[in-house]
Structure 1
Amino acid sequence: MRNGAEIIIATPGRLVDIIERRILVLSQCCYIVMDEADRMIDLGFEEPVNKILDALPVTNEKPDDDTAESGHAMNSFASNGLARYRQTMMYSATMPAAVERIARKYLRRPATVTIGNAGEAVDTVEQRVEFVSGEEKRKARLRDILASGEFRAPIIVFVNIKRNCDAIARDIKNFGLGMSTVTLHGSKTQDQREAALLSVRNGQTDVLVATDLAGRGIDVPDVSLVVNFNMAPSIESYTHRIGRTGRAGKSGVALTFVGNEDTDVLYDLKMAVSKSSISRMPEELRRHEAAQQPRAKGGRAVKE
C-alpha cells in the first residue's frame, strides 16, 4: 500500500488501523463500496465505517445541487483536476436505522436501486413453516423431505450452531439416500470454505450444511430447497438465508422448522409469510399466541 495501490479490499477494523498508522492516505480515493452494509453494522462496525468515510477527501464530493443530476457533469473531472467526483455505493439487503443514518450523512442525492422489497423475500421463494419440536423429530422429517424426490440438488440446510453442522451432515449421509454433504461454518479456513462452495457449485456435492456464514454473499446456482433446521435468530437472518434459493428468476422453496424456542421471532415470521403471494400460512403459526404481536428483545410482547 505504501508503494501505491489502485484497489483495496478490506475489513473495516483493519482499514481504520492502517489509516490511523498513516500507511494509507485516501486523498485520491474516488470510489468506495460498502458491501453487506447492514451486516457490518450488525457486527458493531458503525464507528469504523464512519471513520473510514470521514477519512475520504472532501474536495471531490458531488455538489449538493442540481449539478449532481447532470450525467455530463458527473463524468467530468472535479475542480482540482486530479480526480473524478467521488462515488459512494452501499449494498444492503435490509436497511436498518444505522445504515440509513450513514446514507443520509455521507451520500449526496443517492440513487436507490431496489430489487423486490427491501428486507423481504422475493416472490419466487415459497415459504413453508412446520412446527417440529426436538432434534430427533426434525432429523426424521428432514430425511422424509430429502427422500421425497421433490427437490433436486443442490440443497442448503441451515443450523444455528457450527458444531451442529458436522453432526447434521453425518446424519444426512447416514440416511442411506446416497446424498453427499459438505459443511460451511466459522471454524473453516478460507480455503476450506471456497472448496466447499466449489464442490456444491460444480455438482460434486448434493447438500450444503451451514451456519449463517452461508446466508450472505454467496451465490450457488439452482438451489431448489433451503431448510432452516433451526429457525434463524432474527427475521433479517431468515430473509438472507431463504434468499439463497429462488434466484435469477427461478423458483425455490424455503422450509423452516420452528419450536417453542422461537417465540421471539414468530410474529415476524408470520408477517414474512403473509407478504408472500405464493406461500401458505399454516394455521398453527397464524393462531400461535407468540405470533399475535411483535416482541421486544428479551421476549416481552410490545404493542404496535
Structure 2
Amino acid sequence: MSDITFESMGLNKALLTALAATGYEKPTPIQAKSIPDVMKGKDLLGIAQTGTGKTAAFALPILHRLAENRVAPKPRTTRALILSPTRELATQIADSFKQYGAHLGFRVAVIFGGVKYGPQERALQQGLDVLVAAPGRLLDHLQQKTLDLSSTEIFVLDEADQMLDLGFIKPIRQIVSRIPAKRQNLFFSATMPSEIGKLAGELLKDPVKVQVTPQATTVERIQQSVIWVEQGKKRALLTELFSDPAYTRCLVFTKTKHGADKVAAYLEAGGVEAGAIHGNKSQPQRERALEAFKNGKLRVLVATDIAARGIDVDKVTHVVNFELPYVPEAYVHRIGRTARAGKDGTAISFVAGDEMKLLKDIEKVTRQKIPAIDRRNDKALSQLDASIMSAGVAKKATLPEREGRSDGEGRGGRRGGRNPHREGVKQEGGGQPHRQRRGRNGAPAAERPAAAYDPMAGDRARSSVRAAPSAEPKPVGELQRRPRRRRPSNGGKGHAAQG
C-alpha cells in the first residue's frame, strides 16, 4: 500500500487541489485500503480508532461520488448523512468535509443539541449535500418534519461503539428506518462488541472489511505507568506531576462530570491553569475551553470520556487517568490522545485499591503488564494536599463561577417537548437572585465568617455557626399560621385607595 497516492486513486481534481493545500502528501493505511472501494459504491466496515485518518477515509470518496453525480438537493433533504456520537466530533467531521470540498461548492451542515433550532432549520430548508449530525437532535428534526431522509444516498455511522455506550442504538435504528434501503453504508468502530456486530450485520450488505492499527500496536507506542495511591491523595499527586515543566499540554480523565469540575478547581487552587469539559457544559463553554487548551492558555483539560471522544488536539504530551474507566476499551481511547500521527506519548494512571480489577481488565485488553510504583502511605502527598488547601482558601475563596446557559438551552420554547439530555445537555435551573440580608434597622447585616472551601468537596463548606437545639416539635394543629396579606383591589398597582 506504500506506493498508493491520492492521485493514483483517481480522486476528483478539486479534491486533490484541496489536499495539496492542507499538506497531505500520501494516504494513511485506512485511507489507502478504504477510499478505492468506497468510490465504487461498496459498503464498508472499518475497525479503526480516532487519529488514524478515518474521517478522510470516508469524506474524500463521498465527496468524489457526489461530484461525479451532481444533483441539486431538494429542500429539507440531504444526499449524505453522517451520524456522530458527540458535538465535538460532529463539528470536526463537518469541518473536514468543508476543507476537502472547498472547491466543489457543496452545502455542508452540522446539527447537534444545546443550540437553537432556527439556524439549523434554515440550513436544512436549503437542501444539503452533506449533513453531519448527533442522533438526538436529528430525531427531533425528523419528528418536526424539518428533515426528510427519503432521498439520502449515503449513510455513515461513525464511532459506533461510542454510540452503544451512550445508548444511541435504538435512535439509530429509528433513523435508519427513514432512509431508503437502496443506499451505500459505511460503518466505523474502534471496537466490535457483540451488540455493535449485530448492528453492523443489520446495516451492511456484503461489506468490504478494513482493520488498521490494532489496539495493542497503538498502545505499545505509549509509555504507560501506574501509580498506586489512595483515592484521597490523587489530587495532591496530580499537582505534584504538574510541577514538572515537561507536562506542557495534558488531558486528565475522570469518570464523572462532577469529578471533572472538582479536579479542575483543585488544580486551579494549586496554581495550574486548568479547565473542564463535559456534557453539562453548554456548547459555547466547551468551545471556549477547547480553544484555550489548543492555544496554550490552559495547560490542563479535565474531561469525561464522552466529552473527549473525537477531540483532536495536536501535541498532547501526557494523558493522566485520574480514575480508571469501567470499560477497558475506553482506556485505549483515552491514552490514544497522546500518540497521534505516529508520535510517542506518555500515559499515567492513578489506581486506588478498589480499582485493581479495572486495571487487570485493562492489561488483558492491551496484552501487557503496565509497570507500577507505590505512593500509598506517602506523607509528602498529605503535606502537599494540606498546603494546596491552604492556598486554595486564600486564592479561590469561592466556587468557580457558573457560566450561564447557551441560547435555547434549558427551556421549552417552541420545542418544549424535546429531550435536552439526548446529547448530554443538562437543563440548568433559573432561581431567584439573592437578596442582601438586612439587620433590624434596615442596615446590611454583618457577614458570617466564611468557612474554608475545599474544591474537592463539591459544595462550599457550611458555616461553623449552628442554631441552638430546638425544642420538641409542636403538633401541626398547635402551629400558629402567619396572617395572610391581602392583595390590593386595584390589580396590584399599589395600595388600594382609601375610602
What is the deviation of 1:227? 0.6
Q: Which residue of 2 aligns with 1:220?
A: 313
Amino acid at match of 1:5: G
Amino acid at match of 2:260: C
Structure 2 counterpart SS, 1:24: coil
**1:163 aligns with one of 258, 277, 281:** 258
Q: Which residue of 2 aligns with 1:5?
A: 127
**Highest Rg: 1 or 2?**
2
What is the deviation of 1:268? 1.1
Per-residue displacement from partner, 1:251-293 (whole Å, max 9, x unpaired)?
A: 1111111123324423212224544xxx744498xxxxxxxxx
Q: Which residue of 2 aligns with 1:126?
A: 223
Structure 1 counterpart SS, 2:156: strand
How high is the TM-score relative to the length of structure 1?
0.74
For 1:131-280, what aligned pairs fall within 5 Å after superposition? 131-135=228-232, 137-149=233-245, 151-176=246-271, 179-275=272-368, 280=370
Instruction: Report how many aligned residue pairs link the two structures.
Output: 251
Q: Which residue of 2 aligns with 1:73?
A: none
| Mapped partners of 1:119, 1:19: distance in 2 | 40
Q: Structure 2 vs 1, CA of residues 183 and 247 (structure 1 numbering), >3 Å: closer, same or farther?
A: same
| Mapped partners of 2:217, 2:173: distance in 1 | 27
| Mapped partners of 2:192, 2:252: distance in 1 | 26
| Mapped partners of 1:173, 1:283: distance in 2 | 26
Amino acid at match of 2:252: V
Q: Structure 2 vs 1, CA of residues 234 and 280 (structure 1 numbering), >3 Å: closer, same or farther?
A: closer
Amino acid at match of 1:52: I
Q: Structure 2 vs 1, CA of residues 113 and 203 (structure 1 numbering), >3 Å: closer, same or farther?
A: farther
How high is the TM-score relative to the length of structure 2?
0.46
| Mapped partners of 2:297, 2:274: distance in 1 | 9
| Structure 1 unpaired stretches of 5+ | 62-85, 285-304
What is the deviation of 1:17? 4.8
| Mapped partners of 2:283, 2:335: distance in 1 | 23
Q: Structure 2 vs 1, CA of residues 16 and 207 (structure 1 numbering), >3 Å: closer, same or farther?
A: closer
**2:150 aligns with one of 27, 31, 37:** 27
| Mapped partners of 1:266, 1:280: distance in 2 | 9
Contact 1:231 1:262 (8 Å CA) reproduced: yes
Per-residue displacement from partner, 1:78-128 (whole Å, max 9, x unpaired)?
A: xxxxxxxx3212222222112111212221222233331158743322221
Q: Which residue of 2 aligns with 1:101?
A: 198
| Mapped partners of 1:243, 1:25: distance in 2 | 37
Amino acid at match of 1:148: D
Contact 2:152 2:179 (8 Å CA) reproduced: yes
Structure 2 counterpart SS, 1:90: strand
Amino acid at match of 2:329: E
Point out the more displaced range, 196-205 or 110-119: 110-119
Contact 1:119 1:236 (8 Å CA) reproduced: no
Contact 2:216 2:367 (8 Å CA) reproduced: no
Contact 1:184 1:213 (8 Å CA) reproduced: no
Q: Which residue of 2 aligns with 1:69?
A: none
Structure 1 counterpart SS, 2:337: coil
Contact 2:279 2:306 (8 Å CA) reproduced: yes
Point out the more displaced range, 261-270 or 28-37: 261-270
Contact 1:273 1:281 (8 Å CA) reproduced: no
Per-residue displacement from partner, 1:163-211 (whole Å, max 9, x unpaired)?
A: 23233223223334xx311111222110110111111111221111122
| Mapped partners of 1:188, 1:94: distance in 2 | 28
Contact 2:275 2:301 (8 Å CA) reproduced: yes
Per-residue displacement from partner, 1:118-172 (whole Å, max 9, x unpaired)?
A: 587433222211211122x2122222222233x3321111122222323322322
What is the deviation of 1:243? 1.5
What is the deviation of 1:56? 1.8
What is the deviation of 1:236? 2.2
Q: Which residue of 2 aligns with 1:288?
A: none
Point out the more displaced range, 112-121 or 40-49: 112-121
| Mapped partners of 2:247, 2:337: distance in 1 | 15
Structure 1 counterpart SS, 2:164: helix
Contact 1:215 1:244 (8 Å CA) reproduced: no
Q: Which residue of 2 aligns with 1:74?
A: none
Contact 2:252 2:320 (8 Å CA) reproduced: yes
| Mapped partners of 1:27, 1:166: distance in 2 | 43
Contact 1:127 1:273 (8 Å CA) reproduced: no
What is the deviation of 1:229? 0.8
Structure 2 counterpart SS, 1:238: helix
| Residue 211 of structure 2 is aligned to residue 114 of structure 1 | yes
Contact 1:273 1:280 (8 Å CA) reproduced: no
Amino acid at match of 2:299: D
Amino acid at match of 1:171: Y
Q: Which residue of 1 aligns with 2:189?
A: 92
Contact 1:95 1:119 (8 Å CA) reproduced: no
Q: Structure 2 vs 1, CA of residues 13 and 140 (structure 1 numbering), >3 Å: closer, same or farther?
A: closer
Per-residue displacement from partner, 1:52-85 (whole Å, max 9, x unpaired)?
A: 2232213xx3xxxxxxxxxxxxxxxxxxxxxxxx
